[in-house]
Amino acid sequence: MNTIGRNDFLHYTTMVSAKNNALVSGDRLKAILSDVDFTAVLVDGLGSGAGANASASIVIEELEKSPAIKLDSLLEKSNERMIGMRGAVAAAIRIKFKRKIIEFSSIGNISCYIFRQHSKKIIYPRQMMGYLSGSPKKFTVQALEYQSGDFFFLHSDGLEINEAKHLLNEEEFIRAQSARSNYIIFHNDDASFIAGRLF
């Protein structure tokens, strides 16, 4: 599954693929774009197949119910519903265009990169260890400023970025947005990403 969205502030792409070309992926994602902000969540259910998909779907459902929900509350509500489920790792991002702020909250090994074009640096937002399991957890939201021209890339552990510095190059990042970059390596697993360029 691939999606593309664009407005005057952002051009984003997403991809979800299933392990061994299965019908169901344990990865899920949801992206919501408006003229005011962009909110997205990427979730990797533990394991693969229908059980992993069911856990990942809980986070998607919570965002669909309340698109403006605070990111830490989204993860808290999702975590509460994970009792008896396999569990999942997840990352949520919200970009506020007017204030030029990126908010980020996560748990587990969803990787996030923010590529700063003006300084040619890569920012790695803080990640909380663990996974959504139903046991009590306290989530936080990190807020980072961005500038026009910055990029961001979130992905599950079904893929990796080899030498991320190469994605500071806009042409290479555009290739990454369509999964054509030689610096993106896919593993034999469910895989997903959300990639965007900010204007």
Q: What is the mean pLDDT of residues 2-31?
A: 96
The CATH number covering residue 43 comes to 3.60.40.10
Domain count, the chain: 1
The pLDDT-based confidence of 188 (bands split at 50, 70, 90) is very high
The pLDDT-based confidence of 1 (bands split at 50, 70, 90) is low
How do residues 52-73 score in pLDDT, each as one tens digit?
A: 999 999 999 999 999 999 999 9
Q: State phi, psi for 127 to the nearest 5 degrees.
A: -120, 140
Q: For position 128, what pLDDT does the model report?
A: 97
CB-CB neighbours of 103 under 10 Å: 19
Q: For position 116, what pLDDT does the model report?
A: 97
CA distance 40 to 31: 4
Q: What is the mean pLDDT of residues 163-176?
A: 97
Q: In this model, does residue 81 exceed pLDDT 90?
A: yes
Q: What is the mean pLDDT of residues 102-128?
A: 97
State the residue range of the domain holding 138: 2-198
Q: For position 2, what pLDDT does the model report?
A: 87
- Does the pTM exceed 0.85? yes
The rounded mean pLDDT for the chain is 97
Q: In this model, does residue 156 exceed pLDDT 70?
A: yes
